[in-house]
Amino acid sequence: MAFFAVCMISDSAQAQMDQADMVRVYRWLNVKDNNYVTLAEGEIQEGQLLQWKYKDKTFMFFAYKTPGPDRVAVYRWTNPLTSDQISVAEDEYTDADMQQKGYTLKSLQFYAPIRRDKNHLAIYNWYRSKTKDWVTIPEFGDTDKYIDKGYKMKTFQYYGIIRSDIEQ
């Protein structure tokens, strides 16, 4: 009986440690520029985003705040000419490639798993060439809506985490 209690306490402590290292990731739409941005919770204050005409805040998945085994760093890049922002996994593109495409202001957002697990879902970047906009879409996202808007070039990036025990 004591062994069972120790196992339960250990599992509970591990779950709490995992929760402390987790961050919610959202997608926002900028209605002025008609493009999307993927942001970790607290990355930019919500009031500031609303002032900048962002709306349609949509929870997508959880990610990690810290590096670890089988995790990749995800960075946000901004293109000042197109007002586009893209989230890019480390080594998905080189810094030189991003700069050549006009992106600057690289900033770390979160760390994402690189291997599928029972509570992971694939995360893709979709591209719309007409407006040079990227959008992050989970594998179970409303892809028909984005296809209708002209998004194509679906590219796998990493995995997001769905955790029902902390999705509140």
Contact 129, 152 (CB under 8 A): yes
pLDDT recorded at residue 164: 60
Residues of the chain with pLDDT under 70: 1-18, 141, 164-168
State the SS3 of 30-92: ECCCCEEEEEECCCCCHHHHHHCCEEEEEEEEEEECCCCCCEEEEEEEEECCCCEEEEEECCC
The pLDDT tens digits for 79-126 are 998 888 999 999 899 999 999 999 999 999 999 999 998 899 999 999
pLDDT recorded at residue 58: 92
Query: Could you tell me the pTM of the whole model?
Result: 0.82
